[in-house]
Amino acid sequence: MIRPDDLAHCHDMIRHGSLSFHAASKLLPASIRDPALALYAFCRLADDEVDEGTHQAGAVLRLQERLDLAYAGRPRNAPEDRAFAAIIEEFDMPRALPEALLEGLAWDAAEYRYTTLSGVRDYSARVASTVGAMMCVLMRVRDPDALARACDLGVAMQLTNIARDVGEDARMGRIYLPLDWLAEAGIDPLNFVRDPLPSDAVRSMVKRLLAEADRLYLRSESGINVLPLKARTGIWAARLIYAGIGKQVRQNGYDSITMRAHTSVTQKLGWVGQSAMRTAWSGLTPRSPIVYAKPLPEVAFLVDAASRNKPSQSRSLAVLDILAELRTREGGVGNTGHRA
């Protein structure tokens, strides 16, 4: 399916660029691990181009062209693109999933900020839950309940990332904390990005964000236990490793401005051991009713797209709108967007 040299490139890219995912992927069976590494390499490539480039709008538009080529069966001559095109063909990957990721990256390029926690979940659904839904597709899991819990896990992971990176993001002019939380605390966003401080109010916001992440981590667990048995340990490891980042933020007193949470190799190995134990127990316990909980409203469109037998390959109006906005910005006209 995926050319061996392309797969080796993707493996090397993840090994150097995402230690947490690389550690968790080792626990997946090869039939899932190989396409997962290729998928994650394409997603990381997309994220890095937008996150690190000086012309973010142009980077998103180029990624949209690459996605078009991959779905046309004529991928750009690059290992990540060829591998992703192979995944599309082999697994009938719904286009709505990577397009939602592209939309989230476009929101970053357009410097959107989010008025409410629901808006932050909207963003998290696009940049993280999309990966969870695509992972389910790679496992050939199209059950809506399992997909909903995978999307819970994606949102939880992204909220953890946001909580960890408050200071780093602010120093780059970015705010992912809900703006209404800042308003309640009397914090002006402009002053915050100029001089972010780990005040009691900001620490309280980080705490609230991690509490929401923990709620979703717990909801996600019932979904892990309905995945193929051989895949569960790897997904459990991802869940525990990312939640461990949140625990480190707590140990730092919720100060993610002057400190950045890190987890050690020893800790990761401990969570891997816990993952194996949880997988063993999963076959002995009854299915939790939590697995049937309704999906978050912000991820329902992903669940719908991934669960269809014959998903639409057309581009959504929402994606077309944000791409049009970015083309306008590339032409020299721009404004700062806000999402509710």
Is residue 305 within 8 A of residue 96, CB to CB? The reply is: yes
Tell which residue, 155, 110, 107, has the closest CA to residue 128.
155
Cα 36 to Cα 7, 14, 84, distances in angstroms: 10, 10, 10
Is residue 157 within 8 A of residue 130, CB to CB? The reply is: no
Neighbours of 329 (CB within 10 A): 20
89: Cα within 13 Å, side-chain hemisphere:
14
Is residue 287 within 8 A of residue 225, CB to CB? The reply is: yes
| Length, in residues, of the chain | 340
**Tokens 């997309």 label which residue?**
46
For the chain, helix (H) and strand (E) counts, in that order, are 17, 2
Report the amino acid identity of residue 49: E
Please return the burial class of 25, using the count of CB atoms within 10 Å of its CB with bins 0-12, 13-18 and 19+: buried
CA torsion, points 265, 270, 273, 275, in degrees to nearest 10? -90
297: its two tokens? 């409203």
Q: What is the tens place of the pLDDT at every residue in 140-167? A: 999 999 999 999 999 999 999 999 999 9
Q: Give residue 10's Cα distance to chain centre.
A: 18
State what percent of residues in the chain have pLDDT above 90. 67
3-state DSSP percent of the chain in helix, strand and coil, to 5: 70, 0, 30
Sites in the chain below the pLDDT cut of 70: 17, 19-20, 52-54, 309-316, 331-340
- At 316 the three-state DSSP class reads coil
> Rounded to whole angstroms, how far apart are CA atoms 108 and 127?
10
Is residue 253 within 8 A of residue 182, CB to CB? The reply is: no
In angstroms, the first-to-last Cα distance of the chain is: 42
Written as one string, the DSSP assignment of 192-260 is HHHS----HHHHHHHHHHHHHHHHHHHHHHHHHTTS-HHHHHHHHHHHHHHHHHHHHHHHTTT--SS--
Is residue 330 within 8 A of residue 58, CB to CB? The reply is: yes
pLDDT at 54: 59
Please indicate, yes or no, whether the overall pTM of this predicted structure exceeds 0.85: yes
> Rounded to whole angstroms, how far apart are CA atoms 116 and 119?
5
Give the DSSP letter of residue 292: G
Is residue 127 within 8 A of residue 156, CB to CB? The reply is: no
Domains and CATH numbers, the chain: 4-339 (1.10.600.10)
218: its two tokens? 């717990």
